[in-house]
Structure 1
Amino acid sequence: MLVLWCPDWPVVAAGVAAGLPAHLPAAVFAANRVVACSAIARAAGVRRDMRRREAQSRCPELAVFGEDQDRDARLFEPIVEAVEELVVGVEAVRPGVVAVPVSGASGYFGGEHRLVELLVDHVSGETGVECQIGVADGLFAATLAAHRSVLVEEGAAARFLAPLSVTELDQPDTGRAELVDLLRRLGLRTLGSFAALSERDVAGRFGSEGVLAHRLANGQDERPPHRRRPPPELFVTKTFDPPLERVDVAAFMGKTLAGRFHSGLSSRGLACTRLGIYATTERGEELSRIWRCAEPLTPEGIADRVRWQFEGWLRAGDGRRPTAGVSELRLEPEETVEGAALQLGLWQGGDGGEHTPEADRAARALVHVQGLLGPDSVFTAVPEGGRGPAERVRLVPWGDQRMPSDGHDASWPEQLPGLSPATVFEEPVPAFVTDAEGTEVSVTDRYALTGPPHQVSIEGGAARRVLAWAGPWPVLARWWAPEGRPTTGRVQVVLEGMSGAQSEVALLLNWQAKRSPLWTVEGMYD
Structure 2
Amino acid sequence: MADAGRTAVVWCPDWPVIAAEIIDGVDAAGPVIVLQNNRVQACSAAARADGVRRGMRKREAQSTSPRSVVVDDDPGRDARAFEPVIAAAEEVVAGVAALRPGTCAFAVRGPARYFGGEEIAAEQVVEHIAQACGVEAQIGMAEGVFAAGIAARAGRLVPAGQTAAYLAGLPIDLLDRPKLVDLLRRLGVHTLGAYAALPPSDVLARFGLDAAVAHKLAAGLDTRPLAIRSAPPDLAVGEEFEEPVDRVDVAAFAARSLAERLHERLAAYGMACTRLAIDAVTVHGEELHRIWRHDGVLTAAGIADRVRWQLEGWLLRPERPTGGVLRLTLTPDGVLRQVGLQPGLWGETGPDRERANRAATRVQGLLGPDAVLTPSLGGRQYGRLIPWGLIPWGDERPPADDRPWPGRTPAPSGALLAGPQRPVRLLDEHGEPVTIDGRLRMSAPPATLVLDGAPVPVVGWNGPWPLDDHWWDGRVAERSARLQVLLDDRAVVVTLRGGEWYAAVVFD
- Structure with larger RCO (C-alpha < 8 A, sep 6+): 2
Give the TM-score range, shorter chain.
0.3 to 0.5
TM-score normalised by length of structure 1:
0.43
TM-score normalised by length of structure 2:
0.45
